[in-house]
Amino acid sequence: MPNKEKEGYVKKETMMVVAFVALLVGFLGGVFYSAHKSVPVENAPPSGQAQVSNEDASITGELEKETVRHPENASAWVRLGNHYFDGDQVDKAITAYKRSLALDPNNANVLTDLGVMYRRKGLPMEAINSFDRAIKVNPRQEAAYFNKGVVFLHDLKDRDAAIKAWEDLVQVNPMAKVQSGELVMELIENTKAKEPSTGSR
């Protein structure tokens, strides 16, 4: 997919599987559709966990050094946050993203990724707030709508609010899809067909 700055849909570690049941399983495993794009690892060895770990540690060190040298550089904090995101280092990713947002509060991609990290940390309302901030900054931030619906459905058990978030996404892009090609509008219909849950709102 395009680089981090574009609004894209399919992101390798953050998309949903096609069917509603598979969607549930995927999200229980903490997989998200998000604005996030991984930091590439150049020349990663095809095998050898020790080598991969050493290279990963080297990348981490370089990214951390960059934020020490240039703490005023919001992009450096984003790159570090993305690296922690990829490594599922939730607390460190949250810290880096928050440092970036202190410098550039209107980055909808970072706000979306921060919401994903809050969800992984078990803070669903903080996740919702972050997605809402992303949508306020960029009303076409499709990943924020989608993840907002997921948090409502799976964490807050509010089916109606989830459907509303996804309907808002379809208003932005009627052809919005999940990874395997299922339209979000089909996901909405599948969700409506299930027994309603007791909403938190």
pLDDT given for residue 53 in this prediction: 65
Q: Which residues of 23-61 are buried (b: 16+ CB within 10 A; e: fewer)?
A: bbebbeeebbbbbbbebeeeeeeeeeeeeeeebeeebbe
Q: Give the orientation angle of helix 108-120 with respect to helix 142-150, to 10 degrees.
A: 20
In DSSP terms, which residues pair with 177 in a beta bridge?
Answer: 183
pLDDT at residue 130 is higher than 50? yes
Q: Is 69 helix (H, G, I), strand (E, B) or coil?
A: helix
- Residue-wise pLDDT for 95-110, tens only, equals 999 999 999 999 999 9
Please give the Cα distance from 135 to 191 (Å, whole number): 23
pLDDT for residue 109: 97
Q: Which two tokens stand for residue 102?
A: 């202190």
DSSP 18-34: SSHHHHHHHHHTT----
The separation between the first and the last C-alpha atoms of the chain, rounded to the nearest angstrom, is 35
The packing angle between helices 108-120 and 74-86, to 10°, is: 30
Q: What is the DSSP letter of 193?
A: H
More confident residue, 194 or 198: 194
d(CA 72, CA 66): 10
Beta carbons of 17 and 25 less than 8 angstroms apart:
yes
pLDDT of residue 120: 97
Q: How far apart are CA 66 and CA 61, in angstroms?
A: 9
* Distance (Å, whole) CA 188 – CA 197: 14
Q: Which residue ranges form the domains of the chain, and what is each CATH number?
A: 20-36+47-193 (1.25.40.10)
- Residue 160 sits at φ, ψ, to 5 deg, of -65, -40
- Per the listing, tokens 């150049």 go with 42
The tens digit of pLDDT for each residue in 4-48 reads: 443 444 343 444 333 343 444 344 444 445 444 322 222 333 333
179 pLDDT tier (thresholds 50, 70, 90):
confident
